[in-house]
A and B are shown apart, each in its own frame.
Chain A
Amino acid sequence: MKTNILEVRDLCVAVGDKQILNHLNLEIPDGEVHALFGQNGSGKTTLMMTIMGFSGYDVTNGQILFKGRNIAELDVSERARLGMSIAQQRPPTVFGVKLRTILDYILRDTENPQERMTELAASAKMEDFLSRSINEGLSGGEIKRAELLQLIAMRPDFAMMDEPDSGIDIEALNVIGGLINQLFSPDETHPVKRKTGLIITHNGNILRQLHIDKGHVMHNGSIGCSGNPDIILDKVSRVGYEECVHCIETRCE
């Protein structure tokens, strides 16, 4: 039986005065990759930022358990070192700190770190951006590749991605899909068990690139329904999120 690497229990989160997440529950077993669907403003990004521990997201109720441990008191850095990571949709530009510098840090305990960096940068097609400040002047697709490059270097046990498939063409999507598959690929400890992940996707394009174990639809700050991601996406594609929302609300009544 699989154990859950992440359990979110009855989570309520406020940003400023506004309640964004409402008694949200979510479980992700170790080795599974889940997708998170939902309309704009349904709380998908807030959920990810809260799980990672970013400031400004106030947990007013509930718990987040990671590897069985309540991580409420852990800051972002401690959560990262515990094995979680995030690729943000709109990460900040960090002027003066080069992509190479942060990769140097991430790979500091790796064997042959410079060779590894060169190899990873080539696979992400980011060789020309290593000496540039992090995210400075990058296009949307380049930002996604830069984020994934860092995550692959980190080899986290649990990776979250916020819309890795938005605003990019089919060619770029193929590259991004390849990187995500690389990120989740099994390591030497198990021949088939993948790394665990949670991916926000608005349009579902990324589903064509990798196997997703389960999908969840968010509505009004909680998980409205869960199930086969292809069936959910098919439904959303045919009838739109409004029908999906109507279905969720009807079932809740």
Chain B
Amino acid sequence: MNKPSIVKQLDEKDMRSLAGVGVMPGKDNYAATLVVRDQETAYVRSDHRDVELLPIAEAFKRYDWLKTEYSFKAVPAGYDEITRQCAAMERPIGYFIRVYKGAHVTLPCQTALYMATGGMDQAVHNIVILEEESELELITGCVSERRVATGRHLSVDEYYVGKNAGLTSTMVHSWGKQMQVFPRGGVIVEENGRYESNYISLSAAQLVKSDPQTYLNGKGASAQHLTVILGTPGSEIHTDGNVFLNAEDTNAELLHRGVCIGGKMYQGGLIIAKAPGRGHVDCAGMLLETKGDGFIQSVPGLQSHHPDARLSHEASIGKIVPEQLEYLMSRGMEEMEAVSMLIRGFLGADVIGLGDELDAQIAEIVEIAGHGEE
């Protein structure tokens, strides 16, 4: 068993915050773990011979090719103000993961971007490379300590999925109510590569602007993005992003699931077909009691440059259907239990394997929405 190469003091409250987004440093059932706390690497441990996990600064020192061939190639450094700030870091913070050719890593790799101190900018740059025929499940928790009210989290995530490789990325966000969060992502998928992304925001920040770009460059490459958002009063959440079908037989699916009890929720996403691929965008919103200050805007988008591309989209916004609620209640559930089950079902919680942390958030939302017990 390898010992962690870097261990700063992660105290009880740090561990509690990380556990809230499903990250548990020190547990054995992970291939590798890295935690960024504020602007330092606090924990690194790698237990798998086929997974290389390093702080990004160390990786840049070790591999010249990382800068020349990968860094800011999936996300241009000059894309916007966020990427420029991340690119300008003198001492880059973040992680580098490489899975070697042909390695099917069965245990997940976990990383955390954690803000323990308020009122600051956390800017990170992460690069993940899956070599040909390799597979990895990556769990990333992005979280602020519960007493941290303000601050900004800026990130650039670059994922490179090689030929016949498969990456499943589950990212869980849980931020303080005054935080501002700007994730910028770029994913390049090669021939027959598979990329699955689950983005889950359980506790909404004041402002979230997510805008990932996915490039399906190889024949038969596929991407599926599932975005699950719980919106609360005072929050403004934009989940956009583009998927480019750049090769034949590519396949993309963008799925948005949002439950809003207040605040502004913008569901977007554009599939751009430049080759004969298939794409589907599905936005679904559940608007609960908002006392007038909340809304959901769903704008699924399609752009086709190729006559043989097959693209479709759908969008729906509604409330909890009373007939469904009473149906579950007729099986003996109390109203709050039935609402929770409907929300969990709507969000696809069973599919993405969310457990207690989501239940706690849903219970809070049900109560705020006025369906809970007094």
Q: What residues make up the interface of A, taking CB atoms closer than 8 Å to B?
A: 52, 54-55, 75-77, 80-81, 85-86, 88, 91-92, 94-98, 101-102, 105-106, 133-134, 150, 154
Residue pair B345, A97 in contact (C-beta under 8 Å): yes
Given contacts A96-B346, A133-B345, contact A77 B329 (CB under 8 A): yes
Given A77-B332, A77-B335, A98-B350: A105 in contact with B341 (beta carbons within 8 A): yes
Instruction: Please encode chain B, from 329 to 345, with 1 for each CB lying within 8 Å of some chain A CB and 0 for all others.
Output: 11111110110011011
A-B contact pairs, 11 of them (CB 8 A): A76-B326, A80-B332, A85-B330, A91-B327, A95-B345, A97-B342, A97-B344, A101-B345, A102-B328, A105-B332, A154-B332
Bound-complex Cα distance A95 to B342 (A): 8
Are B330 and A55 touching (Cβ within 8 A)? no
Interface status of B89 (Cβ within 8 A of chain A): no
Tell me, in angstroms, the Cα distance from A98 to B345 when the chains sit together.
8
User: Chain B residues with Cβ under 8 A from A80's Cβ?
Assistant: 329-332
Contacts of B350 in A (CB 8 A): 98, 101
A237 to B345, CA, bound (A): 45
How many Å lie between the Cα of A88 and that of B326 in the bound state?
12
Known: A96-B346, A133-B345. A105 touches B333 (CB 8 A): yes
Chain B nearest CB: distance from A129 CB in Å? 15
B323 beta carbon closer than 8 Å to chain A: yes
CB of B103, distance to nearest CB on chain A (Å): 31
Residues of B within 8 A of A (CB): 321-324, 326-335, 337-338, 341-342, 344-348, 350
Question: Which of the residues B333, B344, B346 comes within 8 Å of A77, measured between beta carbons?
Answer: B333
Contact B331 A55 (CB under 8 A): no
B335 nearest in chain A by CB position: A77
Contact of B324 with A102 in the complex, beta carbons under 8 Å: no
Give chain A nearest CB distance to B204 CB in angstroms: 21
Contact across chains for A106 and B331 when beta carbons are under 8 A apart: yes
List, in ascending order, chain B residues with CB within 8 A of A91's CB: 327
Given contacts A96-B346, A101-B341, A105-B341, A150 and B329 within 8 Å (CB-CB): no
Instruction: Give the nearest-CB partner of B348 in chain A.
Output: A96
Indicate the member of A77, A91, A105, A106 with the most B CB atoms within 10 Å: A77
Besides the contacts A54-B326, A94-B342, A133-B345, what 15 more A-B pairs have beta carbons closer than 8 Å? A54-B330, A75-B335, A76-B330, A85-B330, A88-B327, A94-B327, A94-B328, A94-B345, A95-B345, A96-B344, A96-B348, A97-B345, A102-B341, A105-B331, A154-B332
Smallest CB-CB A-B distances: 8 pairs: A96-B345, A97-B345, A77-B329, A76-B329, A80-B332, A92-B323, A94-B324, A96-B346
Total A-B Cβ pairs within 8 A: 70
In the complex, what residues of B have CB within 8 A of residue A97's CB?
A: 324, 328, 341-342, 344-345
For the complex, give the distance between the alpha carbons of A95 and B332 in Å. 19
Smallest Cβ distance from B355 to chain A, in angstroms?
Answer: 14
Shortest distance from the beta carbon of A250 to any chain B beta carbon, whole Å: 39
Overall SS of chain A's interface: mixed
Report the separation of the CA atoms of residues A85 and B322 in the bound assembly, to the nearest whole angstrom: 18
The chain B residue sitting closest to A135, CB to CB, is B327
CA distance A105 to B340 in the complex (A): 12
Asked whether B338 lies within 8 Å of A77 as measured between CB atoms, the reply is: yes
Q: Which of A86, A95, A98, A105 contacts B330 (CB 8 A)?
A: A86
Question: Contacts of A86 on B, CB cut-off 8 Å?
Answer: 330
In the complex, A91 Cα to B332 Cα: how many Å?
16
How far does the alpha carbon of A80 sit from the alpha carbon of B333 in the complex, in Å? 8
> Within the complex, what minimum Cβ distance (angstroms) separates B59 from chain A?
41
User: Do A77 and B334 touch across chains, with their CB atoms under 8 A apart?
Assistant: yes
- Bound complex: CA of A94 vs CA of B323, how far in Å? 9
What is the CB-to-nearest-CB distance from B322 to chain A, in angstroms, rounded to a whole number? 6
Q: Are B326 and A55 in contact (CB under 8 A)?
A: yes
Report yes or no: B332 in contact with A81, Cβ–Cβ below 8 A.
yes
How distant is the Cα of A98 from the Cα of B324 in the complex, in angstroms? 13
Inter-chain CA distance A96–B338, complex, in Å, is: 13
Q: Give every chain B residue within 8 A of A77 (Cβ-Cβ).
A: 329-330, 332-335, 338
* A94, A95, A101 — most chain B CB neighbours (10 Å): A94
Inter-chain CA distance A133–B348, complex, in Å, is 11
Give the complex CA separation of A55 and B331 in angstroms: 15
Please report the C-alpha to C-alpha distance between residue A98 and residue B346 in the assembled complex, in whole angstroms. 11
Q: A97-B341, A98-B350 are in contact. Are A154 and B323 (CB under 8 A)?
A: no
- The complex places the Cα of A102 from the Cα of B340 at a distance, in Å, of 12
- Once A92-B324, A94-B324 are accepted as A-B contacts, the answer to whether A75 and B329 lie under 8 Å apart by CB is yes
Inter-chain CA distance A27–B56, complex, in Å, is 76
Give CA–CA (A154, B333) in the complex, Å. 12
Chain A residue nearest to B322 (CB atoms) is A55
Q: Report yes or no: A92 in contact with B321, Cβ–Cβ below 8 A.
A: yes
| Residues of B with C-beta under 8 A to A154 | 331-332
Residues of B within 8 A of A95 (CB): 345-346
Q: Complex Cα distance A12/B346, Å?
A: 37
Q: What B residues does A92 contact at CB under 8 A?
A: 321, 323-324, 327
**A75 to B327, alpha carbons, bound, how many Å?**
12
Question: Using Cβ atoms and an 8 Å threshold, which residues of chain A touch B321?
Answer: 92
B330: A residues at CB distance < 8 A = 52, 54, 76-77, 80, 85-86
Chain B's nearest CB lies how many Å from the CB of A4?
22
Across the interface, name the chain B residue whose C-beta is closest to A85: B330
How far, in Å, is A185 (CB) from chain B's closest CB? 20
Of chain A, the residue at the smallest CB distance from B323 is A92
Taking CB atoms, residues of chain A closer than 8 Å to B326 are 54-55, 76
Q: Find chain A residues with CB under 8 A from B332 CB.
A: 77, 80-81, 105-106, 154
Q: How far is the CA of A88 from the CA of B338 in the complex (A)?
A: 18
